[in-house]
Structure 1
Amino acid sequence: MIDYGLQGKVALVTGAGGGIGRAAALAFARSGASVLVSDVNDEGGRATVALIEAQGGKAAFQHCDVSDSAQVKAMVAAAVHHFGRLDCAFNNAGITNIAADEYDEAVWGRAIGINLTGVMLCMREEAEVMLTQGGGAIVNTASINGLVGNPSQPAYVASKHGVVGLTRHGALRWAKAGIRVNAVCPGVIVTPMTAPLVAKEDMRQLLDSMTPMGRMGQAEEVAEAVVWLCSGAASFVTGHPMVVDGGATAV
């Protein structure tokens, strides 16, 4: 893994109790950042903190439902309380509703509330801190379904398209203030969210076949893109939805 030179920096990661969020939290720590780990899954979040501390890093956990503005405000405040500042934020928390009727208003509302409104609430609070510091970097988790259509997941597709648009908005709004805002757009990745599908051999083979590289991606591969986008190596990159999909959207 690459060291992106984040010594002395502070990173916040939502949805860090497993999957891409945990991989990103560990990658930030390996590059020297102190990490505020957040999730609604307290057990998973604290396990991520333990993994970071086991590799010699610094981390703290804060429970947060990103669809609740008061909890988001408390989460960002916790990062500053524990570590003194906030330099990098990865707004990764999200849900999918593979087996649900996403035209049902309750299902639709929950997906939009977490996947899109949650990102907005996080960006708003993170930027407020970063503006007082003179800069920072924010990365949001979108999806390849934020760039292309999907006939079976209307709420997920709508929310992730919204994240891409919100990312571009933030990039333009805060460009002159030194805050860069980008997104990652993962393809089919092996995570706890996809685990029920991967457990079925025929489904695993189907998912592998959907990617030109012939396999599903790993959470660590997305995490590397996230940390790079937050590092000085990406100092002229903002408003960019970075695809990490093994070529799926190149077809």
Structure 2
Amino acid sequence: MTSVPEPLLSLQGRKALITGGASGMGRASSLLFSAHGAHVVIVDRNGEAAQDTAEDIRRAGGTAEAHTVDLLDWEALDAFLEIFVRDNAHLDILFNQAGLPAPPGFDYDLDSWTSCMTINLWVPMLLTKRLLPLLRKSSHASVICTSSIAGVRAVSFFPTYSASKAALIQYVKSIALLLAPEGIRVNAICPGATDTPALRRDIEDGTVRATIDQIAASVPMKRMGNAQDMAQVALFLASGASGFMTGTAIAVDGGATA
């Protein structure tokens, strides 16, 4: 009798930890990963939103857990990681999705630089290192980091943010080479202009000096990306469909970097 192959994008039986998993791209990825069979571990500073996302997953028939962790709180993050490593036998997918913007132009200072670099670069570095023992126990481990097209090409109005995302891409490429012999894959997603609640807040407070329509008009495809666009690429990188891919930085930008 011929066996039926597993669906190409299946995450059945896999465990995925997603930072910033309660809103925007993180929430979309949490829901999509669960819909394809993963048990989702949502880590977010907004505990209420994390619980709401976990409940949505359960109502849809999936399994999830929510953890309230401020990634800028060293003690809280360390405590979470210690307990998670102690209580879990393995981890299949680490999605370093959480990110933080920075002031435009030369408005940065030491505090804003430190916060941006911490969330966008150091936290993915720390989580990958601390959770590596669990990833090594998976037969199909995948680490995904959310960078940005701002890390691929110069963006004059966001120098601090661009620097953090460019550094993240080089970290991804470096550890991809380091871990390739072990079969642990590491890749980055580089979103272009993406319509998220965070972007709309940045427009409202003047951090981004453009409208949604103006931003969309600048994209070759004449629309902005959305959270689902990014979640679908994350699903691809988490699944066996990308089994021979590592060290890549995939632009999901409607042609902006073409």
Deviations 1:185-221 (A, max 9, x none): 0001111111235679x71111101210001111011
TM-score, normalization by structure 2:
0.88
Deviations 1:161-200 (A, max 9, x none): 0110110011011111111000000001111111235679
Letter of the aligned partner of 1:42 in structure 2? G
CA distance in 2, matches of 1:3, 1:54: 25
Which runs of no fewer than 5 residues in structure 1 stay unpaired?
A: none
Provide the alpha-carbon RMSD of the alignment. 2.4
Using the aligned pairs only, state the percent identity: 35
Letter of the aligned partner of 1:33 in structure 2? A
TM-score, normalization by structure 1:
0.91
Q: How many residues end up aligned between the 2 structures?
A: 249
Match of 2:241 in 1: 233
Letter of the aligned partner of 2:181 in structure 1? K
CA distance in 2, matches of 1:241, 1:10: 23
Judged with a 3 Å threshold, the aligned counterparts in structure 2 of structure 1 residues 81 and 49 are, in CA distance, closer, same or farther, namely farther
CA distance in 1, matches of 2:33, 2:97: 14
Which runs of no fewer than 5 residues in structure 2 stay unpaired?
A: 1-6
Judged with a 3 Å threshold, the aligned counterparts in structure 2 of structure 1 residues 51 and 139 are, in CA distance, closer, same or farther, namely same
Single out whichever of 90-99 and 207-216 deviates more from structure 2.
90-99
Letter of the aligned partner of 1:174 in structure 2? L
Per the TM alignment, residue 43 of structure 1 is displaced from its structure 2 partner at its CA by 1.3
1:213 aligns with 2:224: no
Deviations 1:195-248 (A, max 9, x none): 235679x71111101210001111011001001101111110000001110001
Over alpha carbons, which structure has the higher Rg?
Answer: 2
Letter of the aligned partner of 1:149 in structure 2? A
Per the TM alignment, residue 103 of structure 1 is displaced from its structure 2 partner at its CA by 3.0
Contact 2:102 2:108 in 1 (8 A): no
Contact 2:142 2:186 in 1 (8 A): yes
Contact 2:105 2:157 in 1 (8 A): no
CA distance in 1, matches of 2:126, 2:159: 22
Deviations 1:140-159 (A, max 9, x none): 00000010111111110010
Match of 1:5 in 2: 10
Secondary structure of 1:193's counterpart equals helix
